[in-house]
Amino acid sequence: MQTAIKVEQLSKSYGNLLAIDQISLSVKYGTVYGLLGANGAGKSTTIECILGTKKADSGTVSVLGLNPKEDRRRLFQNVGVQFQENNYQPEIKVSELCDETACLYKAPADWKTLCEKFGIGSKIDHAVKNLSGGERQRLFIVLALIPNPKLVFLDELTTGLDTKARRDVWKILSELKDNGLTIFLTSHFMDEVEALCDEICILKKGKAVFYGTVEQAKKASGCEKFEDAYLMLFGEVVEE
* CA 3 distance to own-chain centroid: 17
Write out the DSSP string of the chain: --EEEEEEEEEEEETTEEEEEEEEEEEETT-EEEEE--TTSSHHHHHHHHHTSS--SEEEEEETTB-TTTTHHHHHTTEEEE-S-----TT-BHHHHHHHHHTTSSS---HHHHHHHTT-GGGTTSBGGGS-HHHHHHHHHHHHHTT--SEEEEESTTTT--HHHHHHHHHHHHHHHHTT-EEEEE-S-HHHHHHH-SEEEEEETTEEEEEE-HHHHHHHHT-SSHHHHHHHHHT-----
CATH at 11: 3.40.50.300
How far, in Å, CA of 5 to CA of 61, rounded? 7
- Is there a single domain that holds both residue 196 and residue 140? no
pLDDT per residue as tens digits for the range 122-146: 999 999 999 988 898 899 999 999 9
- Is there a single domain that holds both residue 95 and residue 191? no
The total number of residues written for the chain in this structure: 240
How far, in Å, CA of 200 to CA of 229, rounded? 12
* Domain's final residue, options 116, 131, 146: 146
How far, in Å, CA of 31 to CA of 196, rounded? 9
- Is there a single domain that holds both residue 92 and residue 61? no
* Domain's final residue, options 95, 125, 146: 146
| Beta bridge partners of residue 208, listed in sequence order | 203
pLDDT per residue as tens digits for the range 84-114: 666 778 789 999 999 999 999 999 999 999 9
Residue span of the structural domain in which 104 resides: 80-146
Tell me the CA distances in angstroms from 178 to 30, 37, 122, 140, 239, one per residue in order.
7, 26, 27, 21, 38
pLDDT per residue as tens digits for the range 142-191: 999 999 999 999 988 888 888 888 899 999 999 999 999 999 999 999 99
Tell me if the pTM is above 0.75: yes
What's the confidence (pLDDT) of residue 82?
86
- Is there a single domain that holds both residue 46 and residue 155? yes
- Is there a single domain that holds both residue 156 and residue 201? yes
What's the confidence (pLDDT) of residue 238?
46
- Is there a single domain that holds both residue 31 and residue 73? yes
- Is there a single domain that holds both residue 91 and residue 47? no
- Is there a single domain that holds both residue 140 and residue 155? no
Total domains in the chain come to 2
Describe the crossing of helices 133-145 and 94-102 by its angle, rounded to 10 degrees.
20
- Is there a single domain that holds both residue 154 and residue 235? yes
Q: Are 1 and 147 in contact (CB under 8 A)?
A: no
- Is there a single domain that holds both residue 30 and residue 52? yes
- Is there a single domain that holds both residue 63 and residue 164? yes
- Is there a single domain that holds both residue 155 and residue 63? yes
What's the confidence (pLDDT) of residue 1?
59
* Domain's final residue, options 104, 120, 146: 146
pLDDT per residue as tens digits for the range 64-74: 999 998 998 89
CB atoms within 10 A of CB 193: 22
